[in-house]
Amino acid sequence: MKAVTLIFVTGSTWLDSMVTTVTRSRWSHVALRFEKENLLVEALVRRGLILQPGHKYDSWPIRMEISRTIPSAAYDEMLALSRRWAEETIAYGYRTCAAIGLKEFFGWKVGDWALAQLPAKTEETMVCSELIVKLWRIAAPDFFAGREPRLVSPDELYRFFQDGSAE
């Protein structure tokens, strides 16, 4: 077994404010740290999917860390996929954020509809919570089963990892 840590934070940008307002949550962002390597994977505005040293959020005042252990094989696969995605230079999914907002206000069906209206190239982008869902499905294939990963918010992930409720 190997340890990973989900790091939930809130920044001070306009997008952070919009995300916390729309989702009625304290959290606007989530990242995943691979503990053995002290390596952080996240999807950031203007930067897309990146890997960087794992201490980035250590001094942020609004932060919550939730650690989990996962099978070593899943950890290794998640890390390898994160490295591959970082090399592919995956852009941030601004339009996906809009679809998440619609889902928050009107429900999953409207969110799914909104994603279907977006250009096909938005499937090549990623937002932070989508990244976590896609990676976590390696360790737990039924994670958010039946849910479009692009529509899961940081708050939904937080609730799930905090107390097991995603509704």
- Arithmetic mean of pLDDT over the chain: 89
Q: Rounded to two decimals, what is the model's pTM?
A: 0.89
Are 94 and 122 in contact by the 8 Å Cβ rule? The answer is no
- Over the stretch 21-41, which tens digit does the pLDDT of each residue have? 777 778 888 999 999 999 999
pLDDT, one tens digit per residue, over 111-144 is: 999 988 887 666 689 999 999 999 999 999 999 9
